[in-house]
Amino acid sequence: MKTINYYNHAIAYDVQGQGTPLVFLHGFGENRQMWVDFTPYFEGYKVITIDFPGSGDSAAMEGSIARMAKIVNGVLMAENIEKCVMIGHSMGGYVTLAFAKLYEQKLFGYCLFHSQPNADTVEKKEVRNRGIEFIKKYGNALFFKGLMPKLFAPKFLSGNMHTVDKLIYYGSQMQPKAVIHQLQAMRDRPDNQAVLKNAKVPVCFIIGKLDVAVPAENSLNQTFLPKMSAIHILPKVGHMGMFEAPKKMVNILRNFTEFVINL
């Protein structure tokens, strides 16, 4: 584990391997450990995984999605990385878009992994607010126990509760204020469709047909925005493709990476 100091807050990350840098950004309530079984398949690359504030080993702090993007940039600066491929899962995709808005020159390309550019609707903001009130009243464990199973396709869920339990554990270990900070950051993020529309680098979209968190029909509406897109719709996958279909995900991401670095 390595750390950087961001405004007197420790931010934890890992670096493994050598080669083209691949930056994996986790989603809400997750941490860099979620990639442990996935990233070993990226031998021949420099793999960077980061804990957002309040997740894993990083200190909790208030802030926006844009601030998380600046933290990611801080890690790249600490590692002297001038250019990378970025893969953002769910909330990590929101951070990836914010990073592209600020630092697109540092990207060969990027992947929205079960993510999308739209701001929260009024209804979605209310869902976030109810989540915040629930956590204040009942804490993290019950919140994530209710949330995490919904993120997987039913067929996968029935035989893989150990994976779900691991993610529930990650979320339950966060400080309640850290979970609330992440919910607030997602709730208040701006619409970033223009980032995709103006993208000068290729964008990869990984879409789960059975995703209830980022529905496939919503995701498809964004795929025409960039000039260069790689679109992958997975018929039996929910919101957690790195667990539900890891071999397919590895092939998609390796092929995308080789394409963008050779443009």
The one-digit pLDDT tens for each residue of the chain (263 residues) are 999 999 999 999 999 999 999 999 999 999 999 999 999 999 999 999 999 999 999 999 999 999 999 999 999 999 999 999 999 999 999 999 999 999 999 999 999 999 999 999 999 999 999 999 999 999 999 999 999 999 999 999 989 999 999 999 999 999 999 999 999 999 999 999 999 999 999 999 999 999 999 999 888 889 999 999 999 999 999 999 999 999 999 999 999 999 999 98
Phi, psi torsion values for 112, nearest 5 degrees: -95, 105
Q: CB under 8 Å to 183, separation ≥6 — which residues?
A: 28, 128, 131, 132, 135
Domain that holds residue 42: 2-261
Domain harbouring 12, CATH code:
3.40.50.1820
The sign one gets for the Cα dihedral 153, 159, 165, 170 is negative
The sign one gets for the Cα dihedral 26, 32, 37, 42 is positive
* H or E element, residue 179: helix 176-187
Total domain count, the chain: 1
Q: CB under 8 Å to 250, separation ≥6 — which residues?
A: 38, 41, 42
CB atoms within 10 A of CB 16: 14
CA 44 to chain centre: 22
CA distance 93 to 100: 10
